[in-house]
Amino acid sequence: MAKVSVESINEIRPRITDEFDLGPFVARTEAIQKAYDWGKQVHAGQLRLSGEPYFETHSGWVAAFVDKLVHKEAWTIAALLHDTVEDQGESLEEIQSLFPGPLGEEVAHIVDGVTKMSTPRDGSTRELETLRKIAMFRDPAVFIVKLADKSHNMMTLQYQARGKQWQKANEAIRAYGKLAGILNCYRWRRWIEDMAFPYAEPEAFSMVKGKIDSDPRLNLNFIRYYLGELANLMEAEGIDGSVRFTVNGYWQAWDKLQRMARARRTSLQDFSAVNDIVSFRMIVKKNDETACYRLLSRVNRYFSRNLDQDRFDDYIASPQNGYRALQVTTWLPGAGAVEVAIATEEMEGENSWGIIYAINNNKDISQYSPVQILTPFGGTRFLPEGSTVLDGVAAIQEFYLDKVSKVLVNNEERHIYDTLNPGDLVEVITSGPHKTPEPEWLNHCNATTARRLRSVLAMVALKEASKKGKELIHPILAKRGLLNLEDVASLNVNSIESLLGLLACANLDDLYSAVGGGSIHLQELENALELVGISQASLHWNTVEIQGASVFNRPGGLAYLAGLVSEAGGNIVRTVSTTNNEGRFYLRMVLSEMDESKKNNLNTLLSQSRFPLESYEIV
């Protein structure tokens, strides 16, 4: 009979520091003790903002954490001494002299990688120069020590001024959380991001935490039930292993919800569609991929009709940034979407701790070579090796993907398909005509960018379809005295609700997109409009649309045009007006009590307007 263990639940969201049980720093070798004694002497009298001794509380914690993660003497010593050059003015040569030979050389190399330079070479900000220097190292030890340093800074962020809190928290999420992700240390990433989230976006964090903490999928009885059910499936399949669960971070859940909302797959108030609020992990003991696929078949049969057929990922056949697992999503009534992942013990080790797991198990770590790029304001982003300018744009801010005019790399314009190098300074220019995202872009970006780009492409396609739909609908509405269905929605909401119901559309944008995309035929739309009473005979409305240059956009202009309507014998029932940055204006007025002669009279009055009008239309 198969042996399957089930994870016992002690805490829904355990902290990494609790797991590693970091107490006072204890040196495990003579060299580490020597480094500790010297570092304590060098930092003597230096205090943190909390008032605690700097070396013992900060450097000691960073070193203890690194030592727990990776038992490498040089890394631990470098973690102890990582601030001696920057803060205390000691030299790398002195560090090398303390530890003659290869050990001293390695320690000095790591410390050099994380040290901030006191005088920038090219007049850029101190932080930017630091990041540019670190970017050139691409040494895993440098990245690990830097991440540990940032982690402890997040733990003590409450002692910083509010402005510093916000700055450091955003840097932690946008840069160092993503670095942990590229190194495949997803547990570390969630921890960094969730420590930073309350300081980066306090209002959003409060809302997100409240909704997730009360989510039915985090009910202990719910989790225990499905842990047991999935364990039974493993036993029935005769596969040794374990069943565990992970709870996604608050920031990760919020980030995913925002992407889904932009793709119109859910709303920003509803987390039920976020499938990894809780993720059940079925872990195969042996390194046997075929056993994972056998389990997949049994899991699919178990959840059957509740399976979400559009959310299956085979990351065993196609790993994503080192992550390997089979993932299915099931929609459980009364709870929401739930992810079930299947992996071997070896896969899951690397899924959770990436480069750390690989180092401790003597595996190849060549894939973990992030490319670090910089932004003009001292920010930093980390990308997988081989990433392009397009990846850089998405990493700096994914909202830029459909707003790019051009991209400067080291102050020179570059094509979005060009490859980025460590230390490149990337600036996204959004003023001027924007590049329209194209499906071809998917062939020139990494997997993370592609995931975000697909949502952008979907939105671009919807906008184009909506634009085309409005053009196609225009003559149909004009016959009814209308130029925009939003006017009907404002003045006669029941008619619009009935129309949307007949055509199975969620809102007017969906209607325009469906017409533009061809899924609603124009005759079908005309029939529906007649059925719900959106016609000239029922509404007795006419509409006038006017556009003018900035020379007309002055006080009294709107009153003058309204006066022309009154002079023609019309009555204004709705007005919509906008002005762009150049001062050009747009005005739409819905009118009642108009007949053909009054329309002709208004046309004459507008054509003789004492102010120049670029265009106008009366229907």
Taking only the tens place, the pLDDT of each residue in 71-117 is 999 999 999 999 888 766 778 888 999 999 999 999 999 988 887 53
Q: Are residues 319 and 261 in the same domain?
A: yes
Q: Are residues 282 and 377 in the same domain?
A: no
Structure tokens, 204: 């959003």
**Mean pLDDT estimate for the chain:** 88
Q: Examine residue 90 and state whether it is found in any structural domain, yes or no.
A: yes
Q: Are residues 322 and 412 in the same domain?
A: no
User: What pLDDT is recorded for position 134?
Assistant: 57
The residues facing 407 across adjacent strands are: 414, 428
Q: Are residues 100 and 37 in the same domain?
A: yes
Rg, the chain, Cα only: 31
User: What pLDDT is recorded for position 294?
Assistant: 95
Backbone angles phi, psi at 578, to 5 degrees: -140, 155
- The residue type of 249 is G
CATH number at residue 410: 3.10.20.30
Q: Examine residue 22 and state whether it is found in any structural domain, yes or no.
A: yes
Residue 441 exposure: Cα atoms within 13 Å on the Cβ side: 24
Structure tokens, 567: 């002079």
Q: Are residues 393 and 288 in the same domain?
A: no
**Residues spanned by the domain of 416:** 371-437
Count of Cβ atoms closer than 10 Å to residue 572 Cβ: 14
Q: Examine residue 38 and state whether it is found in any structural domain, yes or no.
A: yes
In this prediction, the residues of the chain whose per-residue pLDDT falls under 50 are 117-124
Q: Examine residue 498 and state whether it is found in any structural domain, yes or no.
A: no
Residues 6 or more apart whose CB falls under 8 angstroms from that of 77 comprise: 31, 32, 35, 63, 99, 103, 107
Q: Examine residue 25 and state whether it is found in any structural domain, yes or no.
A: yes
User: What pLDDT is recorded for position 133?
Assistant: 59
Q: Are residues 352 and 410 in the same domain?
A: no
Q: Are residues 396 and 328 in the same domain?
A: no
DSSP letter string, 326-338:
EEEEEEETTTEEE
Q: Are residues 390 and 297 in the same domain?
A: no
Q: Are residues 215 and 352 in the same domain?
A: yes
Q: What is the pTM of this model?
A: 0.73
CB 472 within 8 A of CB 417: no
**Quick one: the chain helix, strand, coil %, rounded to 5?**
55, 15, 30
Q: Examine residue 550 and state whether it is found in any structural domain, yes or no.
A: yes
Q: Are residues 53 and 73 in the same domain?
A: yes
Q: Examine residue 503 and state whether it is found in any structural domain, yes or no.
A: no
